[in-house]
Structures are given as C-alpha cells and as structure tokens.
Chains A and B, each alone.
Chain A
Amino acid sequence: MEMTLRKITEILDAQVLTGSDLLDKISVERAGAADLMSDVLAYSHAGALLLTGLANAQSLHTADMAELKAIVYVRGKQPNEETIRLAASRLIPLLKTELGMFESCGRLHRAGLMDNGKSAGPHE
C-alpha cells in the first residue's frame, strides 16, 4: 500500500530532520531496513524507504545512489548537520524515531508497507 511520508512520520512518532515540505508529496510502497549500506545497494528497489541505525553521510549517499526516497533513522540516531544539509540539497527527507528497528519495521509492515527484499532485487 502506498503511504505518504507524513503517515509514516505519524506511525513512527518520528521527528522530521529535513524535508518537512515533502511529507505529503512523497509516497512509498516498500521499505528496507539495514545497517550495512552495501546490502542496501545490493538488494533495494528504487523508490523505497530506508530504515537504518547508521547515521553517517554514507547512509545518505547510499539512499541517493540507489534512488531511495527517504531515510528513517531508528533508535534515536542523529545524523550530523552536514549530512542533514546535504540531504536537504538532494531532496531526500530524513526522519528520526526513538523506536528500535524491530518495532519500526513492525509498525510499518502492519500498516501495509511491503518488503524491499532480496528476492526481488534488480538483475536476479
């Protein structure tokens, strides 16, 4: 089920770090969760949401290169100002939730988001 970032923000009690003007404009159908960026690059679909506990600039570059629409940082992880600025310039909204990875994924899955999984990766 397609879901706006605003809806996702509500479901996860998330804070919007950047991209608040895009919350109603961007929707996702799929989400993937990983702390290993190579796995994200290997197994994600373009247009998905990324949930991660890795809050450095590489998470943003990964989302950008893999054409992921937005990032949710879980467990209260906080990217630095430079990463937030870069995300704003690349039009990639960043959300932050105090929830853990399992709870975050569980809530989104229950609400209808699909897995952005290995089985459906490109060129497989």
Chain B
Amino acid sequence: MENPPGRMNEPATGSLLEQSYKIEGGNFVAAGNAATKLKDLLKEIKIPADVIRRAAICSFEAEMNVVMYARRGLMKLNVFPAWIVLQVDDEGPGIPDIEMAMQEGYSTATEAMREYGFGAGMGLPNMKKNSDRLEIQSVIGQGTHLRISISLK
C-alpha cells in the first residue's frame, strides 16, 4: 500500500476537503458530536460505507479520549483523492508510555470514565485496527497529536 499523503504537523497539500471540529475536555454531554458531524459529512460526499464506518469509529474513540483526558482538542479531517486523514490535537497530560497505551486492556481511566462505557484500554488499539496507519506524538504535560490515515482504495 502507498503511503498516506503529507506528514504530521505539516499543511495538508492536495487535500480536496478540510473540516475541523472542536472538542471540549470533560464535556460528556457533547461527547460524540464531532464524530457524528464527521460521519455525516463523509456520507454527504459519498465516501464508501465501510470507510465511513472505520473513520467514524476512529474519530469517536479519539474524541472520547480528548473528552476523558484533555482540556480541549481539535479534530481535523482532510479528504485526499485516495486517503482520508484525521488529525486530533489536544492540550492535555500527554501519554507517558505510548507502547503501553497501544496494548489492548491497558488503561489509566478512572471509574467515572468507565461509567460512560469507555476507558477499557481499547481506544488506541481500536483506532489502529480501523485505520491503515496510526501515528502518535505526545509530549508529557502538553498534549497528544494523532494522525489516522484510512485508504480509500
């Protein structure tokens, strides 16, 4: 498979469509709104259903992570001719050990977070499973940047 276009923290040159969604940390009432809007947009522009489902699951997991752990975040969607790229930037505690966080079942969630049905240590593994590439950069005490790429081919 070819590489997804662009790199982390660089402008999305060649993107056909760009849309950003704000995510508010700690706001469980609004949690899911960004992923829902993103899904509806992908549907509107007639992206294949299986790709929409994978993008929707990735964006929802990423959104929940921001809601649960960060102060705020921004989710940016770029649609390229052969790829969908989701980038999620948050201001938050960062991930101390990315390798551990990638393991299914590893979680630092509190009981309160688990009451919402999340925090079971499946978030990042789920994003990896539903994408073709998952890139993570994290700085302790500053935040986390995710780049999730899904091939349209």
Contact = CB atoms under 8 A, between A and B. Distances in A.
B47 interface: no
Q: Which bucket holds chain A's interface residue count?
A: 20 to 34
A80 B114 CA distance: 19
A116 to B, nearest CB: 14
A61 B126 contact: no
Given A62-B60, A65-B57, A41 B122 contact: yes
Given A57-B32, A61-B36, A123-B129, A41 B60 contact: yes
The secondary-structure label for the interface of chain B is helix
Given A42-B125, A122-B130, A56 B57 contact: no
A66 B126 contact: no
Interface in A44-91: 46, 52, 54, 56-62, 64-67, 82, 90
Contact of B117 (A35, A82, A90): A35
Contacts of B116: 37, 54, 56, 58
A61 B35 contact: yes
A66 B54 CA distance: 8
A36 B29 CA distance: 18
Q: Which bucket holds chain B's interface residue count?
A: 20 to 34
Given A36-B120, A38-B117, A61 B60 contact: yes
A58 to B, nearest CB: 5
B31 A41 contact: no
A63 B87 CA distance: 23
Give the 10 A-B CB pairs with smallest separation, nearest first. Answer: A61-B32, A37-B117, A38-B122, A65-B56, A65-B60, A54-B117, A36-B120, A38-B120, A41-B57, A58-B117
Interface of B: 28-29, 31-32, 35-36, 39, 49-50, 53-54, 56-57, 59-61, 64, 114, 116-123, 125-126, 129-130
